[in-house]
Amino acid sequence: MHGISRRGFLELAGIGAATAALAPRPAPAAGKTLTVLHESSFIPPFDEYIKTTLAQQYEKETGVKVVYEVTAVGSLPTRIATITETGTGADITMNLLLNVIQFGEKYVDVTDLCKEIGEKNGGWYDAGREAVVVDGKWKAVPFCNIGQLMNWRTDWFKEVGVAKFPETWEELHEVGKKLKTKGHPFGFELGHGFGDNHGWLYPLLWSYGGHEVEADGKTVVIDSDETARAVDFARKFFQDCVLEDCLGWTDVSNNKAWMAEQISCTNNAESILWFAKKEFPEIAKVTDQAMNPQGPKGRFHLMGAISHSILNFSPVKEEAVAFMRWLMDPKQLGGWYAVADSYYQPTLHAYDNAPMWDVEPRNKPYRDAMATAHLPGWPAPASRQMAESVAKYVVVDMFAKACAGASTKEVIKNAEAQLREIYKSA
């Protein structure tokens, strides 16, 4: 622990009022309240359902009031950081991608609860577990994956004689070349967004056999022939098939371009089809979705993990565990998943054939993709170094620089130097 604590310093400065704000919240009296923090959903009925249906039902059954607090998209990590740093603000929080490893120390060990839920529901997907286990302990209850898959225009693909989405990256490249010359380029994000860049670049790297780091989480292995092949492919793919502007894209860009009928293929979550169905039905009719193409070493996807954790300083930990147990029961959980079609793909095998998958059969690849989904630093377990590498866009920029024209050797050398510096602390 550092020499002078936060509160110690405040007292030193003589600011009593600020100290009060940082002090742990007193336990609420009878008629307890549970605060659940969630990021605002792209699918509005999803937030509505827990607020109006589940929370009220739970209060009626147990007398515990559930406050479902929504935070803006993109602000969740900052909110959890504030909550864990100050020790107040929520009892249960949603986690995105690598949040569990970042905040795990402040989360309750829910290993037993997860085992119990797993046993009752056909077991967990490996990818679900990968995102919540820290040092052998389950620090969150896996909730779902928001898969990143291929979205493609069936009408334009048909124009170049393709009725089924290509199986391999090389085949996709061939199709893309034809489509770009016909004025229908691909749109794959290579800029500094949060998801749509990592969503296809990590799987591309893996499918050619490249990795950031070994399974030990220490040995940097990005400099390999496999990585070089992936980078070479990306450059050729970008130059022959992709819109130049993609180098500067952030996460909204491909959705915008899709609805403007500017691109014929992209990598995104299900929301692109969901939104098209609502606002642009004509585009929705010619939109289909497919798993990522295969490379020489297989087919991979990025795990867009979402989970729920109980904060270990919460005065209502037991109530929180009870609520999670209740929430994860198929009676409640099934309904909650279903209101969002299949935007949130369950990490429990019990839902593999749930009716939610029949609402929109074009979403089924998102279910099938979970068997090959991993976190960014795979095959290493999630780590703070992995989070740093993602925040510094090491892999994204390695590919982006090559696409912009830099040599394969140079971009890999740069990425390796950066990764070595990052993983030094492992």
Partner 1 sequence: MSIRIEPLIALARPPRRAFSLALWLDREAVFGWLMMALPLLFLAAFVGYPFVYGILLSLQDRPVAKPGHFVGLANFVKNFHDPIFWRVAVNTFVYTGVATLLKMVGGLGLALAMNQDFRMKNLVRALLLLPFIVPTVLSTVAWLWMLDPAFSVVNRLLIGLGVPRPGPSWLGNPVLAMFSIIMINTWRGLPFYGITLLAGLQTVPPELYEAATIDGAGGWNRFRYVTLPLLKPIILIVTLFSVIFTFADFQLVYVLTHGGPQNATHLFATYAFDIGMGAGQLGLGASVALTMLPALALLIVALTLYMRRA
Please give the backbone phi and psi of residue 138, each rounded to the nearest 5 degrees, phi first.
Answer: -75, 115
Measured from the CB of residue 277, what is the shortest distance to partner 1 in angstroms? 22
Residue 421 interacts with partner 1 (CB under 8 A): yes or no: yes
CA atoms of 107 and 138, how far apart (whole Å):
9
Residue 232 interacts with partner 1 (CB under 8 A): yes or no: no
276's enclosing H/E stretch is helix 271-279
Choose, by CB under 8 A, the member of 118, 176, 193, 365 that binds partner 1. 193
Choose, by CB under 8 A, the member of 397, 408, 412, 423 that binds partner 1. 397
Choose, by CB under 8 A, the member of 71, 88, 95, 102 that binds partner 1. 102
Residue 72 interacts with partner 1 (CB under 8 A): yes or no: no
Residue 414 interacts with partner 1 (CB under 8 A): yes or no: yes
Burial class (CB in 10 A: 0-12, 13-18, 19+), 94: buried
Nearest CA-CA partner of 301 in 290, 288, 313: 290
**Whose Cβ is closer to partner 1: residue 63's or residue 248's?**
248
Residue 103 interacts with partner 1 (CB under 8 A): yes or no: yes
Choose, by CB under 8 A, the member of 34, 110, 141, 190 that binds partner 1. 190
Residue 105 interacts with partner 1 (CB under 8 A): yes or no: yes
Q: How many CB atoms lie within 10 A of CB 32?
A: 18
Choose, by CB under 8 A, the member of 38, 106, 139, 235 that binds partner 1. 106
Residue 249 interacts with partner 1 (CB under 8 A): yes or no: yes
Instruction: Select the span of 113-121, 190-198, 206-214, 273-281 touching partner 1 (CB under 8 A).
Output: 190-198
Q: Is 240 helix (H, G, I), strand (E, B) or coil?
A: helix
CA atoms of 426 and 423, how far apart (whole Å):
5
**Whose Cβ is closer to partner 1: residue 181's or residue 425's?**
425
Hey, what are 349's tokens? Answer: 């095998």
CA atoms of 92 and 325, how far apart (whole Å):
13
Helix spans in 69-165 (H):
76-86, 99-103, 111-120, 126-130, 154-159
402's enclosing H/E stretch is helix 394-403
CA atoms of 310 and 140, how far apart (whole Å):
7
Choose, by CB under 8 A, the member of 8, 13, 116, 215 that binds partner 1. 13
Residue 77 interacts with partner 1 (CB under 8 A): yes or no: yes
Whether residue 131 contacts residue 305, with contact meaning beta carbons closer than 8 Å, is answered with yes
Choose, by CB under 8 A, the member of 155, 159, 223, 245 that binds partner 1. 245
Choose, by CB under 8 A, the member of 216, 248, 285, 352 that binds partner 1. 248
- The residues near 353 (Cβ < 8 Å, ≥ 6 apart) are none
Choose, by CB under 8 A, the member of 48, 279, 391, 407 that binds partner 1. 391
CA atoms of 185 and 197, how far apart (whole Å):
17
CA atoms of 13 and 317, how far apart (whole Å):
33
Q: Per-residue x/- marks for partner 1, 296-335, CB under 8 A?
A: ----------------------------------------
Site residues (CB under 8 A) for partner 1? Answer: 1-4, 6, 9-10, 13, 15, 18, 77-78, 80-81, 84-85, 102-106, 190-193, 243-250, 256-257, 260, 262, 384, 387-388, 390-393, 397, 400-401, 404, 414, 417-418, 421, 425
